[in-house]
Amino acid sequence: MTILPFMIGNAWRTGGGQAFASIDPSTGRQVAQIGSASGADVDAAVAAARSALSDPAWRDLKFHERAGFLYKISDLMFAQIDHLARVQMEDNGKTLSECRSQATSAASTFRYYGAVCETFESEVNTQRGPSMTMTVYEPVGVVAAITPWNSPLTLEAQKLAPILAAGNTVVLKPSEVTPRIALEYARLAIEAGLPAGVLNVVTGHADIGRALVDHTDVDMVSFTGGTASGCAIAQACGARLKPVVLELGGKSPHIVFADADLDRACKVAADGIFSGGGQSCVAGSRIFVEASVHDAFLKAICDQASRFRMGAPGDTAVSMGPMVSFQHREHVAKAVEAARAEGGKVLTGGDVPSEGALARGAYYPATVISGVTNQSRVAQQEIFGPVAVVIPFTDEQDLVRQANDIEFGLASGIWTGDFAKAWRVARAIRAGTVWINTYKETSISTPFGGFKQSGLGREKGRNGMRTYMEPKGLYWHVD
């Protein structure tokens, strides 16, 4: 099988590391061999990015000229939605419909940041002395972007687009589980005419990510992934005073009050944890239900879970594909067994499929667990799978206490017909995103990030571009 190369300075190379396989988790079939970078390749990628940073072909572009490259990438992506969706589907097993939606969102992200870049302005500050003062924003420099496996189309776009819009250069290191979308972004960058070295992609395992984080010529690190890895990256960057943005884990509370539209709340709560196989940082995996409607809601969400049909992700009748890998499926299954050991009641799902086509893939069913408290491991630890734990609460004070009693603070959902209650609870919940009478709606124009162990900094929105810029104060004496 031909080895797929990665890209440094607009040139393709198979690398000095050991090639590795890309596996379709729906079948266990190898779909590609991926070239792996070595330490020397990382050095070459960073050097290419550093050189491009000072190249007038990139450095001296006016904002609207830089935006033009983002528009070109967006146009190319819109013309190739189905191809990009199928590449992601083969790599991580998400349904084709979800992958198409994510490809469209990713293309729109480049278009959005093209517009942000084109309309970006410096600031004239209120005069408080003899000089006129201004704030200008400059690129931070060479950025290492390290991305996870669950949604490479959108998550890589949400890093690359603002990094480039801000005038930086970038070395992208994707997850070794889903490396092929990053290679598509490399191809698109070349087709759009980006100068050599502005966008580079290196593929490989965790050691390649560590080499980028530790590299003395990398000015900033942007990471999305697990909290443990994020803490290690923060420590390494802190030792060098290197800026870092971290989008990390979550164990989001999805809250249902008795006065909510319970039918709609149940359907959306089920989608909030089971869609995409629960492999989302904002998945509503802790479902808190007011005690007076707890039993009825529990029965209803089990019914919703049973409707999530597993199967080949390219089948339009399927609502849930496999886990991203067999290794991750094993992790999810072990978490459910640990919940059983704690006394949890697995009301639906909870068993690895053992027959037919499902047995050949990394499938795991939509699973609902009750009978545990918020202090149980299944309620406190991120599983990143289609596993919902349903917990009752007595009143608003009890709910806020339980919802916040966790190390994460990424997202939350609230269902109630009481506007004042929704406002109080939304302000009381320690989370970077709160949805009210909806869940998992996204907008590239709205900042995203977490509290506590869910991360540092914010991505998306206009300020998502400033995340990758350094503000500089200018004083101009006018007397």
Which residues are identified as catalytic?
159, 247, 281, 459
Alpha carbon of 291 to those of 259, 273, 419: distances in Å? 12, 21, 20
Cα–Cα distance, 352 to 264 (Å, whole number): 29
Backbone torsions φ then ψ of 122, nearest 5 degrees: -80, 180
Nearest to 234 by CA among 217, 254, 215, 220: 220
Cα–Cα distance, 326 to 43 (Å, whole number): 33
Q: Which residues contact 387 (CB under 8 A, 6 or more apart)?
A: 273, 278, 285, 332, 335, 336, 339, 349, 367, 369, 378
Summary count for the chain: helices (H), strands (E): 16, 23
Q: Which residues contact 217 (CB under 8 A, 6 or more apart)?
A: 46, 47, 50, 142
Kindly give the residue spans of alpha helices, DSSP state H, lying in 246-395.
262-274, 294-306, 326-341, 377-380
Alpha carbon of 405 to those of 251, 252, 378: distances in Å? 11, 11, 14
